[in-house]
Amino acid sequence: MALKEDLISPKSPRALNDGVPYPDADLLFLEDLLTREERTRLSAARSFFQTEVRPLAVDHWNRAEFPFQLLPGLAAQELVGKQPTSHLLSGLIQMELTRADTSISTFFGVHHELFATAVEQLGSDVHREELLPDLLALRKIGAFALTEPLHGSDISRQIETTATRDGEDWILNGSKRWIGNGTFADVVLVWAKDTDDGQIKGFIVEKEREGFHAAPIANKISVRIVQNADITLNNVRIPAANWLPGTRTFQDTNFLLMNSRVWVSWQAVGQQLAAFDVARAYALEREQFGRPVASFQLIQDQLVRILGNAMMSLSLMIQLARLQESGRLSMDHAALAKATCTERMRESVALGRAILGGNGIGTDFEMAKIFADAEAIYSYEGTQQINTLLVGRAVTGHSAFA
């Protein structure tokens, strides 16, 4: 794919009505905010996602199977690790991966944004030395176990999973639900309440530990490639060294949850662009009454509404990247982005599905997968409603939570 500077010169912008469809839907030339090297990296990542990830997605989604054959190629992209990566480039890469497939984006986000980042920021030197090389190379896969069968939004107050110190070990008991990558992860970061001081802490649990069991959650209608699990911990004994020393209270998880909400907000942008890509291509090819439906006024209105939602969401995320770079990002900013972008996303994917008519409800035309996957983005990492209430508390000074 050509770089943005090869597509358009800022000194002589192409008119929007010249009849040439934009190849990447970036009508505002927002990629111009990247350096030349960053645009090259983004272009390479986008190409891999579109040529290697997207073609596999529908088939594996239908079968609810994970394409493990993608892992070496995904690791070879060096999306994280060796090269310095700005928050803007990182977000755009997450957006482009979602644009290709939401499930693979979710897998990678759970593995890197939640597990690997927790090890890097909250783990010991030994944790970083022993785990990070394999995690960054995708030779080992991580999962993040916080949500429980009876507790999601209220997990910080009502967590039931416990950790009890016993000499040189910890003993974990409890249940976790909706744990992405949980069925095949090599290591799982389990959050549990220390029975001694009542504080929530993080513990690394290897999948082979006696008493640890992960069962796949079946019959999902969203992100079906992601292997979500119900996890039970029955007197699971782990060494004391498996505790992440940077986790002493639930507050220590805040930066992880804040950054994960930013990541999911980038996903919401990518999901809208995916809907736009499929809807536009279909509208240009599908003929009714002797001409492409792309020539119909109502179809053009729907396409423009999708694109407008996407560009507004993308502009918001670019400002969040600026806040991250300056160190001013707060949980309220992340909550505003998550609530707003996912609300716009839900409208966009519904419009995209409508453009395909009856073909929009079958995965053969890809849109049904995009439409269904949006529901997961809308709900995880804090539901749209919960994030709205967090922002409401910030702007009014009154909490809607009991």
Nearest to 93 by CA among 129, 53, 145, 141: 53
Please check the confidence at residue 160 and state whether its pLDDT lies above 50.
Answer: yes
Neighbours of 254 (CB within 10 A): 14
221 shares its domain with 257: no
- Round to the nearest angstrom and report the end-to-end CA distance of the chain: 52
In the structure, what pLDDT confidence band is assigned to residue 25 with cuts at 50, 70 and 90?
confident
Q: Which of 292, 291, 197, 190 is nearest to 232 (CA)?
A: 190
Question: Do both 234 and 273 map to the same domain?
Answer: no
Q: Kindly list the distances between the CA atom of residue 219 and the CA atoms of 145, 216, 228, 348, in Å, as whole numbers in the listed order.
A: 20, 10, 11, 25
Same domain for 332 and 240: no
- What does the DSSP 8-state code read for residue 49? I
Specify the pLDDT at position 20: 44
The mean pLDDT value for 316-328 works out to: 95
Q: For the chain, give the number of residues.
A: 402
d(CA 194, CA 252): 14
Look at residue 180 and tell me if it is in a domain.
yes
Same domain, yes or no: 268 and 370:
yes
Percent of the chain with pLDDT over 90: 85
What residue type is 287 in one-letter code? E
Domain membership flag for residue 364: yes
> Domain for residue 53, yes or no?
no
Do 208 and 262 belong to one domain? Answer: no
Residue at which a domain ends, from 249, 279, 301: 249
As a whole number of angstroms, the distance between CA 37 and CA 83 comes to 11
| Tokens matching residue 280 | 């536009």
Q: Are 381 and 274 in the same domain?
A: yes
Q: Say yes or no to pLDDT of 13 above 60.
A: no
Please state the separation of Cα 6 from the chain's center in Å: 30
Confidence (pLDDT) at 387: 92
How far does CA 272 lie from the centroid of its chain?
Answer: 13
pLDDT bracket for residue 3 (50, 70, 90): very low
Which range of residues forms the domain containing residue 280? 252-396
Report pLDDT for 258.
92
Assign 23 a pLDDT band (cuts: 50, 70, 90).
low
Q: Is 24 a residue whose pLDDT tops 70?
A: no
Structurally, the chain folds into a number of domains equal to 2
Burial of 78 (0-12, 13-18, 19+ CB in 10 A): middle
Contact in structure between 124 and 100 (CB atoms under 8 Å): no
Residue 301, helix vs strand vs coil: helix
Read off the pLDDT band of 17 (50, 70, 90): very low
Judgement on whether residues 173 and 260 belong to the same structural domain of the protein: no
Contact 188, 110 (CB under 8 A): no
In a domain, 29, yes or no: no
106-142 burial: b if 16+ Cβ within 10 Å, else e: bbbbbbbbbbbbbbbebbeeebeeebbeebbebebbb
Whether 74 is covered by a domain: the verdict is no
The tens digit of pLDDT for each residue in 241-255 reads 999 999 999 988 888
Domain C-terminal end among 197, 216, 249: 249
Is residue 9 scored above 60 in pLDDT? no
Assign residue 388 the CATH number of its domain: 1.20.140.10
Spatial distance between the Cα atoms of 180 and 277, rounded to a whole number of angstroms = 27
pLDDT of residue 56: 96
* Same domain as 275, residue 389: yes
User: What's the CA gap between 222 and 219, in Å, rounded?
Assistant: 9
pTM passes above 0.85 = yes
Question: Average pLDDT, stretch 157-176?
Answer: 97
CATH number at 230 reads: 2.40.110.10
pLDDT at 254: 86
**How would DSSP label each residue in 168-228?**
TEEEEEEEEEEETTTTT-SEEEEEEEETTT--EEEEEEETTSTTEEEEEPPS-SS-TTS--
Question: Is 120 inside any structural domain?
Answer: no
Domain final residue pick, 200, 233, 249: 249
| Residues 45-53, mean pLDDT to the nearest whole number | 95
Task: Write phi, then psi, for 163 (nearest 5 degrees).
Answer: -130, 125
Question: Which is it for strands 229-239 and 169-179: parallel, antiparallel or unpaired?
Answer: antiparallel
pLDDT value for 14: 39
Residue 370: what pLDDT? Answer: 98
Provide the angle, in degrees to the nearest 10, between the axes of the packed helices 367-379 and 54-63: 80
Average pLDDT (199-211) is 97
Average pLDDT value for residue range 200-209: 97
Q: What is the mean pLDDT of residues 55-74?
A: 96
Same domain (yes/no): 380, 280: yes
d(CA 252, CA 230): 25
* For residues 346-372, average pLDDT: 97
Mean pLDDT of 325-333: 95
Q: How confident is the model at residue 27 (pLDDT cuts 50, 70, 90)?
A: confident
In a domain, 182, yes or no: yes
pLDDT at 18: 45
Q: Are residues 173 and 219 in the same domain?
A: yes
Closest CA to 53 of 89, 92, 94: 94
Burial class (CB in 10 A: 0-12, 13-18, 19+), 168: exposed
Let me know if residue 382 belongs to a domain: yes
Per-residue pLDDT of 105-139, as tens digits, reads: 999 999 999 999 999 999 999 999 999 999 999 99
Q: Are residues 356 and 243 in the same domain?
A: no
224 & 267 share domain: no
Residues contacting 125, CB < 8 A, separation 6+: none
